[in-house]
């Protein structure tokens, strides 16, 4: 069967689709790049916030229209977080979808397809099982950058978040399995390895009784071929001194870290059920910058959380202004049913939430430009990703994660290909991109 994947949402979803595609290929199916050529379309959805849910539903309907327009008989399968969260409702309201699965059914997918008859089916299982190990992951032809999932699920019961309900309790992956996959990725040409989980800093606590991220990173640094190791989704209170030391001393570890702090007001952090405080956040950032003066810290913030008055927002704005994060994204609070925050008093009007979000992003625009302008004259190592129509190359430095952060646009007299690493002198800077020339 020819199968097409449409993947929405975060890098963890992309990783899931790659594993599912590998499982299907191992059972004799063919993964295709165009839905027109498919016998089955799998839409791997995101259900984290309202905008993501809308995007997922629109994509399902788009694929359903394709299914109806084409004379070729094909199955429409919906998987992922939206399906796990709203499977029963979607099954009733979307008769155009043949099969619904959640986030833990990919290993059973070949059997589901083989026994599928004319009836529509719903397969949503428990999320609290052990980490599901998959041997054959479907990768791009040139996987110069790749994610590696080190854990699944989450035990951080943040008041606004539905992820523990969707993906279950935190389950670390065995260290030997992570190292095995990392070796395989390096042998296939991977230069940048991105560690992902709902919370990478909790790695090992359930399996080994202690936080083992620092030790794992040190072992990953010994793998030949890997040049960059990037950490995503780190909780501030679990960024240990040992981890900071490993980041500062191991050459392969990017001086980049994603710390989703969400807010800076102690009142709002407490309402969010976060373990961090304003003081702990400030102190941790200072520790990171003292150990690595060039570190680029990415964070995400939420404006308009229930109970956020103008006073708490002013605290947040001043915090962003003084901290000067190199990378920052902002979400207006999304009221998610089934979460404690949805029933809280002090819900903020939508227009106020959006206005506050826009204010922080305008401020961040200035901060990002100033940060980029400091790089003019510097020489950065750049990972080549593509070439534009005018012949310029587009890549990233160690300070930028794929699909999320800045790009480096540069000229070169050489013929370069995606995955090449070159030295680029920065000659100009914009709000979110750098310009340079290979040296």
Per-residue CA distances from 145 to 18, 192, 199, 210, 214 (Å): 13, 5, 20, 29, 21
234 is in an annotated binding site: no
30 is in an annotated binding site: no
Under 8 Å between Cβ of 79 and 42? yes
158 is in an annotated binding site: yes
Compute the radius of gyration of the chain from its Cα atoms.
Answer: 22
154 is in an annotated binding site: yes
Residue in the structure block whose two tokens are 């702990």: 280
What is the number of residues in the chain? Answer: 439
Residue/partner pairs of 13-19 with CB below 8 Å, 24 or more apart: 13/44, 13/45, 13/46, 13/80, 13/81, 14/147, 15/147, 15/148, 15/149, 15/196, 16/44, 16/79, 16/80, 16/103, 16/106, 17/42, 17/44, 18/137, 18/138, 18/139, 19/106, 19/134, 19/137, 19/138
254 is in an annotated binding site: no
Handedness of CA 210, 213, 218, 224 (dihedral sign): positive
161 is in an annotated binding site: yes
294: DSSP letter: T
Please state the residue numbers annotated as binding site.
10, 46, 81, 154, 158, 161
Please state the residue numbers annotated as binding site for [4Fe-4S] cluster.
10, 46, 81, 154, 158, 161
């Amino acid at each position: 069967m020819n199968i097409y994947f449409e993947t929405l949402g975060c890098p963890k979803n992309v990783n899931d689709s790659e594993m599912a595609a590998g499982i299907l290929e191992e059972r004799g199916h063919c993964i295709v790049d165009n839905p027109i050529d498919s016998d089955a379309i799998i839409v791997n959805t995101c259900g984290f916030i309202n905008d993501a849910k809308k995007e997922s539903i629109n994509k399902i309907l788009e694929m359903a229209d394709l299914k109806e327009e084409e004379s070729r008989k094909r199955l429409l399968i919906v998987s992922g977080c939206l399906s796990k969260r709203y499977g029963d409702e979607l099954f009733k309201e979307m008769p155009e979808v043949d099969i619904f699965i959640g986030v833990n059914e990919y290993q059973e997918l070949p059997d589901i397809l083989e026994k599928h008859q004319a009836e529509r089916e719903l397969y949503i299982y428990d999320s609290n099982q052990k980490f599901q190990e998959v041997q054959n992951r479907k990768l791009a032809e040139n996987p110069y950058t790749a994610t590696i999932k080190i854990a699944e699920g989450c035990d951080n019961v943040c008041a606004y978040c539905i992820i523990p309900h969707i993906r279950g309790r935190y389950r670390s992956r065995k260290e030997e399995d992570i190292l095995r996959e990392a070796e395989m990725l390096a042998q296939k040409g991977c230069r940048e390895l991105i560690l992902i989980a709902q919370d990478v800093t909790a790695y090992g606590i359930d399996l080994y009784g202690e936080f083992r991220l620092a030790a794992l990173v040190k072992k990953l640094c010994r793998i030949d071929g890997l040049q960059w190791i990037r950490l995503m989704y780190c909780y501030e209170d679990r960024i240990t001194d040992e981890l900071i030391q490993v980041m500062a001393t191991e050459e392969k570890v990017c001086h980049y870290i994603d710390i989703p702090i969400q807010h800076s007001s102690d009142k709002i952090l407490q309402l969010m059920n976060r373990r961090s405080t304003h003081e702990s956040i400030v102190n941790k950032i200072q520790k990171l910058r003292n150990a690595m003066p060039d570190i680029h810290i990415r964070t995400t913030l939420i404006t308009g959380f229930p109970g956020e008055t103008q006073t708490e927002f002013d605290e947040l704005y001043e915090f962003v202004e003084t901290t000067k994060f190199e990378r920052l994204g902002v979400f207006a609070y999304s009221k998610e049913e089934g979460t404690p925050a949805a029933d809280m008093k002090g819900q903020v009007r939508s227009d106020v939430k959006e206005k506050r979000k826009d204010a922080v992003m305008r401020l961040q625009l200035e901060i990002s430009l100033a940060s980029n302008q400091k790089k003019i004259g510097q020489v950065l190592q750049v990972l080549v990703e593509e070439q534009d129509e005018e012949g310029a190359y587009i890549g990233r430095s160690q300070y930028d994660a794929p699909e999320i952060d800045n790009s480096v646009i540069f000229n070169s007299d050489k013929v370069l290909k995606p995955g090449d690493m070159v030295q680029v002198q920065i000659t100009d800077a914009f709000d979110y991109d750098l310009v340079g020339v290979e040296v």
